[in-house]
Amino acid sequence: MSVFVYLDRPEDLAPKVSFVSCFIQANNTILMLHRNDDKFYGGTWTTPGGKIDEEERAIDSLIRKVKEETGIILPKEQIVFVKKVYARNQEFGFDCIHHIFKVVLPEIPQEILLNKNEHQDATWITPEQALKLNLIPGQKECLELVYQ
């Protein structure tokens, strides 16, 4: 799976979509979601997030997507913008813009209301452990950007 992640926008980038993701951290662990097998890049692990709807701000999309996927309501004032990166998916032939956010919660939420239409499992693990998972393409680079 050939996905290239760039810190600086390539001159020939032609993004078809923008999306958000959030590293939700609590007790030195992060929340990782296991995508349903029938979804785009099924069976891989990723952080909560998704496509930004037209006319939607990245931060608002992030809050919406995290709530839809996990039931977690993120306090807007605690969300930290990390970086905007650019990705080129050679396998499917499209470019995208990826807005990366991070939030540190005081404790792991007691319950994750997993959206079973999207994800089959969720786990709280260290960033180092997450790097050993079967990650969605581009997730490894984002993990390393945030935690190394």
Q: Residues near 82 by Cβ (< 8 Å), separated by ≥ 6? A: 23, 100, 101, 102, 145, 146
Q: What are the tens digits of pLDDT across the range 34-82?
A: 999 999 889 999 999 999 999 999 999 999 999 999 999 999 999 999 9
CATH of the domain at 46: 3.90.79.10
Q: How many domains does the chain have?
A: 1
Domain that holds residue 123: 3-147
What's the predicted TM-score (pTM) here?
0.93
Position 19 confidence tier, pLDDT thresholds 50, 70, 90: very high
For residue range 111-137, what is the model confidence (pLDDT) as tens digits? 899 999 999 999 999 999 999 999 998
pLDDT (0 to 100) of residue 1: 52
